[in-house]
Each structure stands twice: as structure tokens, then as C-alpha cells.
Amino acid sequence: MRTRLLLISHPATAAQRKGTFPADDPLDARAIEETTAFRAAHARLLDDGVALSSPARCALDTVAALGLAANVTPALADADMGHWRGRRLLDVSNDEPQALAAWPRDPSVAPPGGESFEAVRQRVGGWLDARETLEMLETVARHGTVIAVTHAGVMRAALMHVLQAPSATFARIEIPPLSMVALRYGERGWTWWPTADRED
């Protein structure tokens, strides 16, 4: 059988809308309202799934707003922003302009004390390919789609791993808030399905 994994990015938090690096922020009323509308638009798909979640509060709040009960999966965590965690982008730009300029251009560059995109890709790719993950996904997929609520950077890393794209092109993939990416695992390994609602 083919296992379908549906990755969903959480809505923008109030901190993100203000240009602040994530710091385990909860969802505010606006984000919860957006998630509720998203759930109404995709109820058929979401009602047929088993859920996983990043341990971040914004992801867990998203799971709750979607009406799901999810198992926390550490591999789905957002990139560690290190010393930039909770700081405004403008402040980091003023204090560490060279480091900030290098970070979105080079996948091996990490925020001070944090995690690079390359490290996130290795973490996410390792989770996707782990025997324990594939066995778990196949088991729960018998009941429907496996839904993973996570972060844009994790979804970007998963796509690049599946497509075997060079990490240097990571900035060319945009994942908006409350986006969906469908992956399937079968005889050829992982494949990307552009339309999440497409059936076999």
C-alpha cells in the first residue's frame, strides 16, 4: 500500500507578523480564526487522518484548532534559532548584519547557537527514511491520511529531501502559513504530490 503523509504549516503567530524570530509562541485569536476557516475548507481530508505534531506551542494550538489529537514528534520541530530566538529581525539586523545576511543564503550557516537549514534537512530526512517512521506511517495510514502539523522550514526540508534537490536552493521554496504538502511512500520511495486532495 502507499502511505500518504500530509504536512501542514501552522498559521503565522502574532510574533511572526511583527517580524520576530519564533520563541515557542502560542497562536492568537486571529491565527485560531484562520485555522478554523482552514479546517472548514478541508474537513473531508482532515476528518480522515491520524495526526502528528511538532512540539512547538503554535503547532499544538493548530492541532487543537483543527479538531485533531496529535502525537508529538520531535523530528517535526522548527529550526532552533539559537541566540536569535524571540528577537526582532530588525534588532538582529542592526547587531549582527553579516551573520543575518549569510543565514538565508548558505544552508550550512546557523544562527549563533542554533541550527542550520542543512541540519534541519538531515534531521527531517532521517526521520522520513527511518524504518520506525515508515512502519508507523504504514500502520496508521490504514485508517486514512497521516497529518503532520509542523513549520515552513521543516516542510521545505522534507520537499528537498524527497526531490533530492541541492540544499543550496533552499531559499527558492516558499511555504506560506497554513499550506499543505502531500508526500507518498511506495515502491519508488517518497514522492511529492502537488495537489493534497488528489486521490489514487
pLDDT on residue 45: 84
pTM of the model: 0.93
pLDDT on residue 47: 80
Structural domains in the chain, sorted by start: 3-193 (3.40.50.1240)
pLDDT on residue 56: 98
Helix axes 29-41, 57-65, angle to 10 degrees: 50
pLDDT on residue 123: 98
pLDDT on residue 200: 45
pLDDT on residue 44: 85
Residue 187 CA: distances (Å) to CA of 5, 144, 151, 184, 190: 15, 19, 28, 10, 9
DSSP character at residue 88: B
pLDDT on residue 138: 80
pLDDT on residue 187: 84
Residues of the chain with pLDDT under 50: 1, 198-200
Q: Which of 146, 110, 108, 113 is nearest to 127 (CA)?
A: 146
User: In the β-sheet with 3-9, what is the strand arrangement from edge to edge?
Assistant: 70-72, 49-53, 145-150, 3-9, 180-186, 189-193
Residue with cell 484562520: 34
Half-sphere CA count of 60, side-chain side, radius 13 A:
11
pLDDT on residue 174: 93
